[in-house]
Amino acid sequence: MTTIAIAGFGKIAKDQHLPALSDNQDLELIAIASRNATLDGVENHEDLASLLSALPELDAVALCTPPQVRYSQAVAAIEAGKHVLLEKPPGVSLSEVEDLVRRAEQKGVTLYATWHAREAAGVEKAREWLSTRRVTRVDIQWREDVRQWHPGQQWVWEPGGLGVFDPGINALSIATHILPEAFFLREATLEVPENCQSPIGATLEFTDVHDTPIHADFDWRQTGPQTWQITVDTDDGTLVLDSGGSQLSINGERVVDGEDIEYAGLYRRFAELIREGRSDVDVAPFRHVADAFLLGRRQSVEAFVE
């Protein structure tokens, strides 16, 4: 049994990581590090440094803290010889993540940059279906209410918090996984509230080697039902991934209507990587976000008040 600790015990850790670990037969949660929360039945520490010092026998750490502090925590865990799971996004810059890869290789530990949306029930079947078809058009609509998913979390609006790309990167993680050709950003518009430093909305235009139009619309101001949909037109009909990838329709017929299995899949993968002595760090979704900040035209919008 591999022992694991969670650093950062906020909403995502409580809602997703904890249930997934409770059902995993290969990983045993023995501690958490959090300034603001505790968990019965495990050791509780105020920070990762004290946790690592108190538990030298610990095997792995899942980092669920905001991305702005994740690099230093990952370095500390890797240097202590621990396997590391990174919540998405894996950091605040590509150079940080590249350095973590180097350090993990040197220490001989597993580093896993997770993309939970890729584990949604319909994603792998969508990838298989598209692999033998020519894509002619892609439309991505990813709209949700930041008040529901990040209540009071100011870090999402600060540099490195990514703003609307925090959920938008989930769509990009699916698109980079299922589309048979690599694609590239051509232009973007980022809507940035007057009182924030990260965007609340974004429109992105991509293409690939075949000049396929790939459009993405991300918005964090949606109310009511949330929209997480990717539509792919091909030379053999249309594929639609809905509900974040848990529902798949092909040519109007529902093929997959799955339950929420994303984080269970992540922890199964993490345990597998540890057993095999390998790492998995795919930065393709993160690179598209970096390109958007580099190439995007910034448009000021009215101040956001939660």
Report, as residue numbers or ranges, the catalytic residues: 88
DSSP β-bridge partners for residue 137: 233
**β-sheet with 60-63: strand ranges across:** 43-45, 27-33, 2-7, 60-63, 83-86, 111-113
Angle between helices 165-178 and 123-130 (to 10 degrees): 40
Q: How far apart are CA 289 and CA 179, in angstroms?
A: 17
* Greatest pairwise CA separation for the chain in angstroms: 59
From 35, 75, 36, select the one nearest 52 (Cα to Cα). Answer: 75
Buried/exposed 275-303: b ≥16 CB within 10 Å, e otherwise: eeeebebebebbbbbebbbeebeeeeeee
Can you read off the two tokens belonging to residue 279?
């790492």
Other CB atoms closer than 10 Å to residue 132's CB: what's the count?
Answer: 9
Q: Do 139 and 241 meet the contact criterion of CB atoms below 8 Å apart? A: no
Q: Do 240 and 139 meet the contact criterion of CB atoms below 8 Å apart? A: no
Q: What is the DSSP letter of 221?
A: B
In the chain, the amino acid numbered 120 is A
